[in-house]
A and B are shown apart, each in its own frame.
Chain A
Amino acid sequence: MSLLLQQLVNGLFIGSVYGLFAVGYTLVFGVLDILNMAHATVFTLGGLVALWLVEGSGMSIWAAFPLAVLFSGLLGLVLDRVAFAPLRQRSDTYFSGLISSIAMAIIFESAALGLFGAHTVRFPPNTIKTDIWRIEGVTITSLQVEIVLVALILMGALSLFLHRTRTGKAIRAVAESERTARLLGIHVDGIIASTFFVSSALGGAAGILFGLYFDALSPDMGRSIELKGLAVIVLGGMGSIPGAILGGLTFGLSEVLTVAVTGKSNLRDAVAFTVLFAVLLLRPEGLLGRRRAREV
């Protein structure tokens, strides 16, 4: 029983990182209807830059974290300017945007490879002081708690930002209808750029937390989470922020439970993609998404 409980707890921890990753992913989709395939490489670069700051300059992780998040946000602006803005007026923008974001993903990953090398790297020991607690036979580390707290705070901040601030409301207006937003006098291009900034900053933050949690970072670490992130945002409903959070947690839980029940870690991903496949066929709007007339 305590083993199962332990798995559930672990699932929640990793699920919160998936959620954080997916929230940024789904935000861009919600606003632009474009899948940003470079999101996972921003995740990787965010983690690697944080490591570089901690290792290179001896900075505390609490100082490196916001700097690396800021850097990731700037990468988002680059993405928007180079890969998405030039294609915005094209009629096949969802398709060409997908392709140009794949191109940016390749370029970013090659940059990560060139700058940080192909090997797996880890944060120096004692980057974060870790206490270990045992409650009812379940082991929880302070690192895990900190990761969940940071993820929850960032997701909460995003939701406040979207609902309470002018920019956030403008982002939601653009997501609803770009044309109407333009008529209302909203500076749409600026709003899209800030969407990319926020989305990529969250992606980078997820990368740092992921690197701390698994104590391993590599230039291709984005590849596995990229597909999981897709599964999460489809499960939660494309463009839905609460859906992405819920989807992330569900996904984290389903992963650990699959391993716990079948005893095969290889099957973990199989369940995930079978679920993704089934959701797409049976309920393409996801758990919390809205049904739309146009699914392009």
Chain B
Amino acid sequence: MAFLMHFFAVYGNLVNFIGINALMALGLYVTLSAGQLSLGNAAFAGIGGYTAGILTMQFHAPYILSITSGAMLSGIVAVLIGLPVLRLRGVFLAMATLSFGEVVRIAAVNLTITGGAQGLVGIPNKTTTGLIFTVLALTGYFMAKLRQSRIGWSFESIREDEAAAASLGVNTTFYKTVAFTIGAIISGLAGGMYAHLNFIISPGEFGFSAAVQLLIYNIVGGTRIWYGPLLGATLLTALPEVLRGIGVTAGPIRMCVNGIILLLVILFLPNGLISLLSRSSSIAGPRP
């Protein structure tokens, strides 16, 4: 017990950020599980984070109301953006979501209510470790259930072959929008919780690099099953601490290790590190 207390005193923050990053990674995972490559999920986290932060600071809203409102607003924006954007495929969808993300970031830089380039400062610290992991566990449970549902199978069929899915009567536009929106709600929720953990949020945290980071968590962990992104987010968030532990402190080397891990995974383990742990055929099957 004493050991646990000590561990938490030193690494409590790291544990919290692992939870938040895992939740954000799950947000992107839902969208990826329907075969849609989105680079806008960091922006959804930003919408959730800013909404929650503004509600708490300016309107003294209760914490739970703030973060759920942030998540809901992210979801609403996702429906509005998703309907036109999800007609695009592959790289074009990635670019459209990317430019959406940049517009959101630039809006945050230029608006007064978001605090401009400096961001929102002094958001009360209300997110607890217990809450983070409760939400994460519930989201994980939801993912597991979703996978076996009609919606989950529709996502899977769109991912495998969109044209074939459509010809079999799957309403692809509807399900793609659902996947995009669920992903945005989870990302928005994670963003709101992050805002109430970090004291400060700024536009740069929700830009292109953040979106790519979420993609990296998913790829490194594996996108065939919902706990893949959890593994990826955990490993890569903890990696800097591990490297520090073995004496590597130089920023460029840490960055390089990140890049090499991603490269090795995509070259040799296209289904992510999770495919090493599990021999189940449903995970280790070939990608479409």
A6-14, A132-140, A275-283: which lies at the B interface? A275-283
Please report the C-alpha to C-alpha distance between residue A264 and residue B106 in the assembled complex, in whole angstroms: 12
Complex contacts, B109 vs chain A, CB 8 Å: 266
> Once the chains bind, are B92 and A280 in contact (CB under 8 Å)?
yes
**Interface stretch among B50-58, B65-73, B149-157, B247-255?**
B247-255
In the complex, chain A residues 85-102 whose Cβ is within 8 Å of any chain B Cβ: 86-87, 90-92, 94-96, 98-100, 102
Within 8 Å CB of B95, what residues of A? Answer: 35, 230, 234, 276, 280
Q: Which residues of A contact B117 (CB under 8 A)?
A: 266
Q: Does residue A231 face the partner (Cβ distance < 8 Å to B)?
A: yes
Asked if residues B103 and A111 are in contact (CB atoms below 8 Å), the reply is: no
Contacting B92 at CB < 8 Å: which of A96, A104, A113, A295?
A295
B273 to chain A, nearest CB (A): 14
A89, chain B: closest CB distance, angstroms: 12
A273 touches B260 (CB 8 A): no
**B133 beta carbon closer than 8 Å to chain A:** no
What's the least CB distance linking B7 to chain A, in Å? 30
The residue on A at minimum CB distance from B85 is A281
Main SS at interface, chain A: helix
Q: How far is the CB of A101 from chain B (nearest CB, A)?
A: 10
Cα A103 to Cα B258 in complex, Å, equals 8
What's the minimum C-beta distance from A33 to chain B, rounded to whole angstroms? 8
Decide if A102 touches B96 in the complex (CB within 8 Å): no
Please, which residues of chain A bring their CB within 8 A of the CB of B84? 281
Question: What's the minimum C-beta distance from A233 to chain B, rounded to whole angstroms?
Answer: 9
Q: Which residue of B lies closest to A95 (CB)?
A: B37
A187: interface (CB < 8 Å): no
Cα of A111 to Cα of B288 in the assembled complex, Å: 34
In whole Å, how far is A262's beta carbon from the nearest beta carbon of chain B?
Answer: 10
Q: Which of B175-183, B225-233, B263-271 sits within the interface?
A: B263-271
In whole angstroms, how far apart are the Cα atoms of A273 and B208 in the complex? 13
Helix, strand, loop or mixed for chain B's interface? helix
Q: Within residues 235 to 288 of chain B, which ones have a CB less than 8 A from any CB in chain A? A: 250-253, 255-256, 258-260, 262-263, 266-267, 270, 286-288
Q: Closest CB of chain A to B264's CB: distance in Å? A: 8
List residues of chain A with CB within 8 A of the CB of B94.
35, 98
Nearest-Cβ distance from residue A232 to partner chain B, whole angstroms = 12
Contact code string B79-90 (vs A, CB < 8 Å = 1, else 0): 000001100111
B256 touches which one: A33, A82, A100, A111 (CB < 8 A)? Answer: A111
Contact A269 B102 (CB under 8 A): yes
Q: Are A100 and B263 in contact (CB under 8 A)?
A: yes
A227 at the interface (CB under 8 A from B): yes
Cβ 8 A contact of A92, one of B100, B208, B262, B287: B287
Report B-chain residues with C-beta under 8 Å of the C-beta of A104.
259, 263
B123: interface (CB < 8 Å):
no
Report if B193 contacts A (CB, 8 A). Answer: no
Does B212 belong to the interface (CB within 8 Å)?
yes
Distance in Å: Cβ of A59 to nearest Cβ of chain B = 26
In the bound assembly, the distance between CA atoms of A215 and B250 in angstroms comes to: 27
Instruction: Determine if B23 is an interface residue (Cβ-Cβ < 8 Å).
Output: no
Pairwise interchain contact B99-A277, C-beta atoms closer than 8 A: yes
- Residues of A near B286 (CB, < 8 A) are 91
In the bound complex, residues from chain A placing their C-beta under 8 Å from that of B260 are 103, 107
Considering the complex, give the chain B residue whose CB is closest to the CB of A268. Answer: B106
Say whether A106 contacts B287, CB under 8 Å: no
Say whether A98 contacts B91, CB under 8 Å.
yes
Is B24 on the interface with A (CB-CB < 8 A)? no
7 A-B pairs with the lowest CB-CB distances in the bound complex, closest first:
A106-B259, A114-B252, A103-B263, A110-B255, A107-B259, A110-B256, A103-B262
Residues of chain A whose beta carbon lies under 8 Å from any beta carbon of chain B:
33-35, 82-83, 86-87, 90-92, 94-96, 98-100, 102-107, 109-111, 113-114, 118, 223, 226-227, 230-231, 234, 238, 264, 266-267, 269-270, 273-274, 276-277, 280-281, 284, 295-296
Q: List 17 A-B contacts (CB under 8 A).
A: A34-B91, A35-B91, A90-B270, A99-B219, A102-B216, A102-B262, A106-B262, A107-B259, A110-B252, A113-B255, A266-B106, A270-B107, A273-B106, A277-B103, A280-B85, A281-B85, A296-B90
